Amino acid sequence: MWSPDSKGVRRAGLDATSFSVIIDMKTSVVLLATLAVLGSCTQTNIVLVITDDQDLTLGGLMPMEKTQRLIGEAGVTFTNAFVTTPVCCPSRASMLSARYQHNHLTLNNSLDGGCSNAHWQQNVEPQSWPALLHDAGYLTFYAGKYLNQYGEKDAGGTEHVPRGWDWWIGLVGNSRYYNYTLSVNGSSQFHEADYLTDLIKEYGLEFLKQRTLLDNKFLMVLAPPASHAPFTAAPIYQDHYKNVTALKTPNFNVPANTDKHWLLQMSPVPLPDSLLPLLDEVYRHRWETLLSVDDMVEAVILQLNSSGLLENTHVIMTSDHGYHIGQFALPWDKRQPYEMDIRVPLLVRGPGIVAGRSVSQPVLNIDLGPTFLDMADLEAPSWMDGTSFLPLLQDTGNLEDNENRTFLIEYHGEGTNTTISSDCPFYGDNTVTECSSDVMCKCQDSKNNTYSCVRVLNPEENVLFCKFEDSLNFMEVYDVNADPYQLTNMASNLSSADITKFTTWLNRLKQCSGSSCQFKLTSSRTSGWQSEMQMRRERCLTGETPNVCLKLP
């Protein structure tokens, strides 16, 4: 098994050999003093598992029974975890930088769109929270998918190792399960037949086996390709869910009317019955890929426990964004502002966390960095837009302050001919993208699928207000408590005063940076807006629309 070269050697701190020398010399005073220092330190080890395209709202956690038991039931399960940009590279950039998209400037998955480009490598990457943890003495390890353009020739090739990583096993390009290239501390390695999730697991276990209680604290990030396309399960799990079908939510294959952005109205709507078995196939294959991730999580927890490290280690599992499979007659993808694309799993266990808690306070992917710095007794720098949720984990402080959150969802639409099937009528059209003949050439994205949304979430209300940057300045507005599947756009019910108010909040968030991104609203409603929302709630509570109602305030 590979071990790090001079770029990845253990830095200052006691290792296992030093520990043996102390014992052999029988210098009990030194040993006791060392253990006393270790016992007084409140820094913790951090293990982060980042899955790819794993949803929450469609049952994406269901196949990961071990993960739910070993992390969620042993710690905290968040029910309102969101990403701020629902697509791979921008979301991962937000996660790593703790900044909104408008501040890190990774706009899409392309190099021209800022994905692992020179700006990212020179200006954002060096200020990421992993680099800050490294500078503070943490030993750092990364294995798996990083950013979609990482390792490509025009992005610096495999020689580029992002600042702050001691052990670096970075996947070149986008998620794959076989036939991939890794940058192993800057050296290119091609793997044809090694199932990537299993290889990531083995690298991670090798790293953990070399750790002891007397080492420096460590950060380990494991980023498997599951459950991203091409949805290739390990041989042991192929056809494991052969009888499972896609979850038919109330908005499944519901044609988007004129109250949805034009992209959702593209034909065919609804999807013909002949395509539905393909959605079932995608759904179950995604689950099958996650079974290997579940095995990886179990192996990591067992190794941490065997090494005596588990009690001082925070273990976090989350995804880079959600996913849709058939909702609003969209085949399968992400990129939209709706619940299935922006909600993600978030499970955390670790020291000081009471087991088996469910936390409803909203948290964002940009909050991960400040939280990890908090775990390391470090203050988050002023340029980070997120905030630590460690008090929520430890159930300390005034938790009511965290119940009220107003945040931004932003997305830049992408148009490229590289993801359009050659037999589609849009081939050669650079205003749309993700158009496959497998799904009758229905496109999943467009250049003017560019939007920004303000989300107001507190115990009294749960509102999404979105504006699209197209010729229509199209708006979509949803009361998510009364309409959790976002079937009815309420924009036409807003008064001009409502629109002005929401737009003001939205513009404020679109320009925010650091602490200015943290603000709370007491209420988003004017009288007209409130009366309409109240009517919808009453219809839900009286059973008039039970199929789309959740528990309401």
- pLDDT for the residue numbered 532: 61
Q: Does residue 44 contact residue 217 with C-beta atoms inside 8 Å?
A: yes
C-alpha to C-alpha distance for 336 and 453, rounded to whole angstroms: 11
Q: What is the pLDDT of residue 400?
A: 62
Exposure of 486 in the CB half-sphere (CA atoms within 13 A): 22
Do 109 and 387 touch, CB atoms closer than 8 A?
Answer: no
Amino acid at 72: G
Q: Where are the alpha helices (DSSP H) in 272-386?
A: 276-306, 339-342, 368-375
**98-131: pLDDT as tens digits:** 999 999 999 999 999 999 999 999 999 999 999 9
Q: In the prediction, which pLDDT does 402 show?
A: 73
Q: Check residue 271 and give its pLDDT.
A: 96
322 φ/ψ sector (left φ>0, alpha ψ -120 to 50, else beta): beta
The string of pLDDT tens digits covering residues 280-306 is 999 999 999 999 999 999 999 999 999
Q: Which helix (H) or strand (E) holds 33?
A: helix 28-40
Nearest residue to 425 via CA among 447, 444, 448, 442: 442
Tell me the residue type at 261: H
Confidence at residue 33, expressed as pLDDT on a 0 to 100 scale = 37
What integer pLDDT is reported at residue 29 of this predicted model?
36
Residue 108 to residues 89, 91, 301, 422, 446, Cα–Cα distance (Å): 6, 9, 34, 23, 12
Answer whether residue 43 is part of any domain.
yes
pLDDT of residue 40: 37
Closest-CA residue to 477 (of 524, 518, 527, 523): 524
- Residue range of the domain that includes 203: 6-239+290-401
- The residue ranges of the chain whose pLDDT is under 50 are 1-40, 526-527, 546-553
- What phi-psi label fits residue 165: left (phi over 0), alpha (psi between -120 and 50 degrees) or beta? beta
Q: What pLDDT is attached to residue 521?
A: 76
In three-state form (DSSP H/G/I as H, E/B as E, the rest C), the secondary structure along 71-134 is HHCCCEEECCEECCCCCHHHHHHHHHHCCCHHHHCCCCCCCCCCCCCHHHHHHHHHHCHHHHHH
- CA dist., res. 430 & res. 416, Å (int): 5
Residue 68 CB partners (closer than 8 Å, separation 6+): 61, 77, 347
Domains contained in the chain, number: 1
**Which helix (H) or strand (E) element contains residue 50?**
strand 45-51
User: Which tokens hold the place of 4?
Assistant: 């790090």
172 token code pair: 């070149």
pLDDT (0 to 100) of residue 541: 53
Evaluate whether residue 229 is within a structural domain. Answer: yes
Under DSSP, is residue 516 helix (H, G, I), strand (E, B) or coil? helix
Tokens 């467009």 — which residue? 446
d(CA 4, CA 184): 9
The CA distance from 83 to 52, in Å, is 13
How high is the pLDDT of residue 553?
A: 28
In a domain, 179, yes or no: yes
Residue 156 Cα distances to 96, 116, 122, 150, 542, angstroms:
19, 9, 12, 8, 60
Catalytic annotation, residues: 88
Answer yes or no: are the C-beta atoms of 433 and 446 closer than 8 Å: yes
Q: Give the pTM.
A: 0.90
| Residue 16: per-residue pLDDT | 37
Is the residue at 472 inside a domain?
A: no
Strands (E), 115-216: 139-144, 167-171, 180-184, 187-191
In tens, the pLDDT along 496-513 reads 999 999 999 999 999 999
Report if residue 471 sits inside a domain: no
User: Does residue 518 form part of some domain?
Assistant: no
Question: Which CATH number belongs to the domain containing residue 327 in this structure?
Answer: 3.40.720.10
In a domain, 30, yes or no: yes
In a domain, 486, yes or no: no
The helix, strand and coil proportions of the chain, stated in percent and rounded to the nearest 5, come to: 35, 20, 45
331 and 444 Cβ atoms separated by less than 8 Å: yes
